[in-house]
Structure 1
Amino acid sequence: MRWRSVSENWDAFHESMLDQWPELSEDDLIEVEGDRTALEERLVELTGNDQDDVAQQIDEWLEGAVPSDVHMDEVHDNDSINDSRLYMSPGEDASDDDSKYGDDNATEDPVGGGQ
């Protein structure tokens, strides 16, 4: 996920950050208010790790799961639609109705034996 998603949905990520970094408090997160640099500085102060280690920890945390209430957010939905364009065939639009591409009625066979 991108840091922008985290900062725009800051409150939704509190629990995940508190689980990841038990040294943090809810007050720390309120004070940081979605600013990555401020979070890094606070974690350096609390953990004693250097800036590079903390930045790497945050990068690794960003690869984790997104809280479900963020998935329901319009900004996240729009970002996901835009990201899906990378995997689309030429001429297909991420906002188009998929039914015109002929695969909506196909039956998926989990065993791989065909349709």
Structure 2
Amino acid sequence: MDWNRIEGNWKQAKGKIKEQWGKLTDDDLDQIAGKRDQLEGKIQERYGIEKDRIRRDIDDWTGRQTW
């Protein structure tokens, strides 16, 4: 799935993102507001994962989305 589509459907995406990355809060997701780079940074902050792995994880996650 194209990131522009996720950004455009951010309200729907927030729930699916919380399912995948449960340590992210509603406030985090509101602050991210669909910006992929901010999502990467917040996941890195909450989980302590390296940036390259986060990018791969997000790419894998977006590839599995069907809406």
Residue in structure 2 matched with residue 57 of structure 1 by the alignment: 57
Moved over 4 A (4+): none
5+ residue gaps, structure 1: 68-115
Shift of 1:4: 0.4
- Bigger RCO of structures 1 and 2 (CA < 8 A, at least 6 apart): 2
- For residues 53-98 of structure 1, give each alpha carbon's deviation from its aligned partner in whole angstroms, at most 9, with x where no partner exists: 111110000011334xxxxxxxxxxxxxxxxxxxxxxxxxxxxxxx
TM-score (norm 1): 0.56
Larger Rg over CA atoms: 1
Aligned-CA RMSD value: 0.9
- The aligned counterpart of 1:22 is 22
**Percent identical residues:** 30
* TM superposition score normalised by structure 2: 0.94
- The structure with more helix, counted as a fraction of residues: 2
Whole-Å Cα distance in 2 between the matches of residues 28 and 66 of structure 1? 24
Unaligned stretches of 5+ in structure 2?
A: none
